[in-house]
Amino acid sequence: QKSSSNGNTSKQVKSTNGSSAEKKYQVPPEIIEQKKMLPVYTAREALLKNFRENSSVIIISETGTGKTTQIPQYLYEDGYTQGGMTIAVTQPRRVAAVSIAKRVSQEMGVELGEKVGYTVRFDDKSSQLTRLKYLTDGMLVREAMIDPMLSKYSVIMLDEAHERTLNTDVLFGLLKSVQNKRKNLVKSNPNGKHKELKIIVMSATLDAELFSKYFNNAPVLYIEGRQFPVQIFYTEEVQKDYVDAALVTVLQIHLNTNKEDRSDEEQHGGDILVFLTGRDEIENLEKLLLERIVRFPSGVKKLLVCPIFSALPQEQQMKVFEKAPAGCRKVILATNIAETSLTINGIRHVVDTGVVKSKIYHSTIGIDSLSVIPISKASAKQRSGRAGREYDGKCYRLYTEDIFNRLEESSIAEIKRSNIANVILQLKTIGIDDVLSFDFLERPPIQTVKKSLELLYCLEALDDKGKLTEVGKKMSMFPLDPMYSKTLIKSVEFECLEEVLIIISMLSVESIFFIPKDKAKEVENIKNIFFSPEGDHITLLNVFREYQKVNGSPQWCYDHFINIKSMVKILNIFEQLVKYCMQSKMEMVSCQSDYERIRKCFITGFFLNVAVLQPDKKYKTMADNKEIQIHPSSFLFNVNPQYILFNELTITSKAFARNILPIEPMWLPEVCPKYYGRSPTVQDKSAQQSIKETTEAFKSN
Ligand code: ADP
Ligand code: MG
């Protein structure tokens, strides 16, 4: 008997005859019951009626009402996939798309990848059979580049619209225009192949007016959720180290629950949810907690630590949804993913650090960085709400009430705080050449548009008239940021495509080495085996090549403290990128060990990310004299080359550059004359004129 890959343990009810037949499973009765208990269930008929009567609908409700998992199923039952049409549900985060698709496939008793599937970058579990498709907003934008009418979809649901990610914002504009075009096509030819497109926008916050107005005053439906009272606690003083404060708070909650609380929790559960900013912090707190847990006196309830972040392998991601075994309490360490995207049952305590990792655009240089910044009041409220979904709960804010009062009301939409070069490139590929005529839900700042156009011009993706070049067209084929896709395309000329493919694959996975407790020294020694003074990229390349030499031996990985799951993922990404290169007919060339080619090639994409050493061992960026430092995780942390190129900037207490390549200053004008020609700005007069005209027109539009 074949075991099913969707983790469905119930027995298969209809056996397959032939490989193309769809598998079906019996849905466990408790899941059928759970579905009926969700608040959205009582709104089912009203929702369907509204969907039939309106081409666009806005839905507002608390997290955990059942929007994301149930409404697509209702639409399916109501016939929206007849004639082979598909329903798409977009998610800002890949973890959410994957885990929700998995859950819905179980609820419907089908094999994941058949009737219910998902598509996220570098991971596609959908097929011809897929009728309910969960996908990241970015992947739907990519689909629109291939099929601008999105003709296979009958309904597109923009979920988590309140997050206002860049891609969701782009989809607003694209879908509105597709909806109009398809409406007109149906009008002129009612029996043609096109059908009308229904758009459903779902949001967890109340400010729906913007969405409704945008879609010609579409109706706004409120679904009442269940929300129990949540008691809020603040710290008396400002916390210096919020990870440490979170550790103390979790232990206090776990060890101090008084008798009354205890019997209440025996009955209703009492799991803890901690909000942190990213993988490093989560793993750090996990380690600290595990150290404490082994020293718990006997008689203390067990504490089960469940991390969740996007780089975590899928099986472990699903663990957060499993009920804690009897006599055991779960503590979930999560990123913002648990704020509104995922609903985890059983939470009674929320620990809110008050911070989030967010993309920040530095419009003077024109690059993005990841920064840890304070959350908004709206976020703080969402986070505390997670403690009161099933019973009353408690939220521990690790900041003072005064700090809370001074938080922004709501977060700034990504389009207003990030580089939009990729958006411009995608719009131009879709055929929307005139970016300023694009019907944005909210417009990006003028300075951002200008800088992004400049970047694309320097990357040679746009010509001096602002038209997409051949390079630009090629770049848009890859599911990568423009700086990476440019580097990749140029690597054919620099005769190092194979190496650049490997390096980009390695860079797309967060951590390759795992560092067991008390083994830091050994890990350092091992890392030195791979070390190359020619840069982190080359060091990573060495790791990959050794890994290939030993045929991915698990023992070798283990001996070298290399995360085998990361390596498998990297290999998979590498193979997918190779396919894209073959589609673009790029010649697979290797530079063997002539690494200078690689270092030069990266300048073609990352010419803005260059910094020069200062006497105090810090660096200043060439573009705007900003002070940065090499991140301790870099192999060149103590080497301090004179000129460096970096791939990533993370700003916490300091600005840290990650993934470092030493370069030579004379390479800059040679490799990137457009930027490093005579003066360090855009050189070409006609290009300058074209960018100026575009931005002027944008301003007056
Ligand atoms: P909303 O979109 O309104 O926030 P969802 O549809 O995501 O609500 O969640 C509805 C219910 O489905 C919640 O009770 C949640 O716990 C449950 N659920 C979602 N994903 C899973 C999963 N992977 N395993 C178990 N339960 C899940
Ligand atoms: Mg949802």
In this structure, the residues whose C-beta lies within 6 A of any atom of ligand 1 are: 38, 61, 63-70, 99-100, 102-103, 321, 343, 345
Helix (H, G, I), strand (E, B) or coil at 510: coil
The answer, yes or no, to whether residue 9 has pLDDT greater than 60, is: no
- Distance from the CA of 146 to the center of ligand 1, in angstroms? 32
**Which ligand number lies closest to the CA of residue 106?**
1
Q: Which atom of ligand 1 is nearest to the CA of 40?
A: 3
Provide CB contacts within 8 A for 205, sequence distance 6+.
Answer: 60, 162, 378, 382, 410
pLDDT value, residue 247: 97
For ligand 1, atom 26, the nearest C-alpha belongs to 321
Number of residues that this document lists for the chain:
701
% of the chain with per-residue pLDDT over 90: 71
Helix (H, G, I), strand (E, B) or coil at 332: strand
pLDDT band at residue 599, thresholds of 50, 70 and 90? very high
pLDDT band at residue 8, thresholds of 50, 70 and 90? low
Give the residue with greater pLDDT, 396 vs 325.
396
Mean pLDDT throughout 9-36? 75
**Which ligand number lies closest to the CA of residue 100?**
1
Q: How far is CA 364 from the centre of its chain?
A: 25
Q: State the DSSP code for 300.
A: S
- Distance from the CA of 232 to the center of ligand 1, in angstroms? 24
Mean pLDDT throughout 66-78? 98
The answer, yes or no, to whether residue 610 has pLDDT greater than 80, is: yes
Structure confidence by residue, pLDDT tens digits, 196-232 = 999 999 999 877 899 999 999 999 999 998 889 999 9
The answer, yes or no, to whether residue 683 has pLDDT greater than 70, is: no
For ligand 1, atom 17, the nearest C-alpha belongs to 343
Q: Which atom of ligand 1 is nearest to the CA of 342?
A: 7
CA distance 479 to 93: 15
The answer, yes or no, to whether residue 676 has pLDDT greater than 90, is: no
pLDDT value, residue 569: 87
**Least confidently predicted of 179-183, 309-313, 536-540, 664-668:** 309-313
Provide CB contacts within 8 A for 630, sequence distance 6+.
Answer: 619, 636, 637, 640, 644, 656, 657, 660
Mean pLDDT throughout 532-541? 96
Q: Which atom of ligand 1 is nearest to the CA of 389?
A: 14
pLDDT band at residue 317, thresholds of 50, 70 and 90? confident
- Distance from the CA of 96 to the center of ligand 1, in angstroms? 10
Structure confidence by residue, pLDDT tens digits, 56-70 = 999 999 899 999 999
Q: Which residue type does 193 have?
A: K
Q: Which residue type does 521 have?
A: K
Q: DSSP assignment of 189-204, as one string?
A: -TTSS----EEEEEES
Q: What is the 3-state secondary structure (H, E, C) of 520-588?
A: HHHHHHHHHHHCCCCCHHHHHHHHHHHHHHCCCCHHHHHHCCECHHHHHHHHHHHHHHHHHHHHCCCCC
The answer, yes or no, to whether residue 692 has pLDDT greater than 70, is: no
Structure confidence by residue, pLDDT tens digits, 369-402 = 888 999 999 999 999 999 998 899 999 999 999 9
Structure tokens at 539: 């060091």
- Tell me the range of 310-314, 421-425, 680-684 where mean pLDDT is highest: 421-425
Structure confidence by residue, pLDDT tens digits, 83-137 = 999 999 999 999 999 999 999 999 999 999 999 999 999 999 999 999 999 999 9
The answer, yes or no, to whether residue 3 has pLDDT greater than 50, is: no
Question: Does this model's pTM top 0.95?
Answer: no
pLDDT band at residue 15, thresholds of 50, 70 and 90? very low
Structure confidence by residue, pLDDT tens digits, 465-505 = 899 999 999 999 999 999 999 999 999 999 999 999 999 99
The answer, yes or no, to whether residue 159 has pLDDT greater than 80, is: yes
For the chain, give the mean pLDDT: 90
pLDDT value, residue 398: 98
pLDDT band at residue 256, thresholds of 50, 70 and 90? confident
Number of H helices, E strands in the chain: 26, 23
CA distance 480 to 463: 21
pLDDT value, residue 678: 55
Mean pLDDT throughout 599-617? 95
- Identify whether the C-beta of residue 634 lies closer than 8 Å to the C-beta of residue 660: yes
- Distance from the CA of 203 to the center of ligand 2, in angstroms? 8
pLDDT value, residue 685: 57
By the 10 Å C-beta count (0-12 exposed, 13-18 middle, 19+ buried), 194 is classed as middle
pLDDT band at residue 5, thresholds of 50, 70 and 90? very low
For ligand 1, atom 21, the nearest C-alpha belongs to 103
Helix (H, G, I), strand (E, B) or coil at 335: coil
pLDDT band at residue 462, thresholds of 50, 70 and 90? very high
CA distance 197 to 199: 6
pLDDT value, residue 79: 97
pLDDT value, residue 260: 64
% of the chain with per-residue pLDDT over 70: 92
CA distance 270 to 391: 10
Q: What is the dihedral of CA 246, 248, 254, 257, to 10 degrees?
A: -110
| 2 phi-psi bin (left φ>0, alpha ψ -120 to 50, beta other) | beta
Q: Which atom of ligand 1 is nearest to the CA of 159?
A: 2
pLDDT value, residue 688: 60
Structure tokens at 220: 């706004």
By the 10 Å C-beta count (0-12 exposed, 13-18 middle, 19+ buried), 97 is classed as buried
- Distance from the CA of 144 to the center of ligand 1, in angstroms? 28
Structure confidence by residue, pLDDT tens digits, 402-457 = 999 999 999 999 999 888 999 999 999 998 888 878 999 999 998 888 889 999 99
- Distance from the CA of 168 to the center of ligand 1, in angstroms? 21
Mean pLDDT throughout 31-51? 96
Mean pLDDT throughout 357-380? 86
- Distance from the CA of 178 to the center of ligand 2, in angstroms? 24
**Which ligand number lies closest to the CA of residue 389?**
1
Of 116, 132, 343, 391, best ligand 1 pocket probe by most atoms within 8 Å of the beta carbon = 343
- Identify whether the C-beta of residue 623 lies closer than 8 Å to the C-beta of residue 589: no
pLDDT value, residue 225: 86
pLDDT value, residue 623: 84
> Directed axis angle between helix 446-458 and helix 421-430, to 10°?
70
